[in-house]
Amino acid sequence: MQTDVHRFPLADPGDVQGLRQAIATGLVDPREIVAVIGKTHGNGLVNDYTRGFLTQSLAFLISGATGETPDAIRQRIPFVFSGGVEGVLSPHYSVFTVTESRSVESAEKALAIGVAFTPELAPGDVGRQRQIDLTAEAVIRAMRSANIQSSSDVHFVQIKGPAFTLAEILADADAGGRPASDNPGKLMGLGRAASALGVAKALGEIPASRAVESAIGRDFEAFSSVASCSAGVEVRANEVIVVGMSSQWSGPLAIEHAPMKDALDTTGIRSALSGLGFPDVLQLSSKQASRIRAVFVKCEASRDGVIRGKSHTMLNDGDIDQQRHIRAAVGPADPVSGALVRPCATARLHPVIGPGWLATGDASAAYDPLSGQGITKSLRNGVLAAYAAADALLKPGSLGLTRYAAILDAQFAGYQRAHRAHFARETRWASAPFWARRQFVPSGAGGQISVAFPKEVWHDSCWKPKCQTYETKNGRPTGNIGANGP
What would the DSSP string read from start to end of 293-332?
----------TTSEETTEE--TTT-SSS-HHHHHHHHHTT
Q: Annotated catalytic residue: which of 39, 109, 160, 201?
A: 160
Q: Annotated catalytic residue: which of 195, 224, 230, 250?
A: 230
pLDDT at 347: 82
Tell whether 486 is covered by a domain: no
pLDDT at 349: 87
Query: With 60 as the cut, is the pLDDT of residue 286 above it?
Result: yes
**Other Cβ atoms within 10 Å of 372 Cβ, number:** 9
Query: With 80 as the cut, is the pLDDT of residue 336 above it?
Result: no
pLDDT band at 262 (very low <50, low <70, confident <90, very high): confident
Same domain for 220 and 155: yes
- Lowest-pLDDT choice from 162-176, 389-403, 430-444: 430-444
Number of independent structural domains in the chain: 2
- Lowest-pLDDT choice from 164-173, 347-356, 427-436, 441-450: 441-450
pLDDT band at 155 (very low <50, low <70, confident <90, very high): very high
Could you give the dihedral angle defined by the CA atoms of residues 326, 188, 241 and 215, in that order, rounded to the nearest 10 degrees?
90
Tell whether 341 is covered by a domain: no
Same domain for 393 and 284: no
Q: Could you report the per-residue pLDDT of 355-413, keeping only the tens digit for each?
A: 889 999 888 988 888 777 778 888 999 999 999 999 989 988 888 899 999 999 998 88
Percent of the chain with pLDDT over 90: 56
Q: Which residue has the higher pLDDT, 202 or 425?
A: 202
Amino acid at 379: L
Average pLDDT in the 340-346 region? 64
Tell whether 197 is covered by a domain: yes
Query: With 50 as the cut, is the pLDDT of residue 466 above it?
Result: no
Q: Could you report the per-residue pLDDT of 263-274, keeping only the tens digit for each?
A: 888 888 889 999
Same domain for 434 and 351: yes
pLDDT at 32: 97
Query: With 90 as the cut, is the pLDDT of residue 345 above it?
Result: no
Residue 104 neighbours by CB under 8 Å, 6+ apart? 248, 250
State yes or no: is 160 an active-site residue.
Answer: yes
Mean per-residue pLDDT of the chain: 86
Residue 36 neighbours by CB under 8 Å, 6+ apart? 58, 77, 78, 79, 80, 81, 93, 94, 95, 96
Same domain for 265 and 364: no
Tell how strand 239-246 and strand 353-354 pair up: unpaired
pLDDT at 324: 86
pLDDT at 191: 97
Instruction: Give the range of the structural domain holding residue 185, as residue numbers without chain letter.
Output: 2-330
Q: Return the closest-CA partner of residue 395 out of 350, 348, 460.
A: 460
Query: With 50 as the cut, is the pLDDT of residue 43 above it?
Result: yes
Tell whether 154 is covered by a domain: yes
Residue 460 neighbours by CB under 8 Å, 6+ apart? none
pLDDT at 478: 40
Query: With 60 as the cut, is the pLDDT of residue 460 above it?
Result: no
Average pLDDT in the 182-186 region? 95
Tell whether 149 is covered by a domain: yes
- Global pTM value: 0.71
Q: How far apart are CA 125 and CA 173, in angstroms?
A: 11
Tell whether 6 is covered by a domain: yes
Same domain for 465 and 393: yes
pLDDT at 420: 83
Query: With 80 as the cut, is the pLDDT of residue 297 above it?
Result: yes
Tell whether 201 is covered by a domain: yes
Tell how strand 154-162 and strand 227-232 pair up: parallel
* Last-in-domain residue among 271, 301, 330: 330
Coil, helix or strand at residue 427 = coil
pLDDT band at 451 (very low <50, low <70, confident <90, very high): very low
Q: Return the closest-CA partner of residue 181 out of 212, 213, 211.
A: 213
Q: Given phi > 0 = left and psi -120 to 50 = alpha, else beta, which region is 287?
A: alpha
pLDDT band at 472 (very low <50, low <70, confident <90, very high): very low
State yes or no: is 398 an active-site residue.
Answer: no
pLDDT at 303: 85
Same domain for 262 and 364: no
- Lowest-pLDDT choice from 176-180, 215-219, 452-456: 452-456
Q: How far apart are CA 240 and CA 143, in angstroms?
A: 10
pLDDT at 211: 97
Tell whether 339 is covered by a domain: no
Same domain for 316 and 212: yes
The DSSP annotation for 56-100 comes to HHHHHHHHHHHS--HHHHHHHS-EEEEE---TT---EEEEEEEE-
Q: How far apart are CA 8 and CA 17, in angstroms?
A: 9
Q: Return the closest-CA partner of residue 111 out of 223, 237, 269, 5.
A: 5
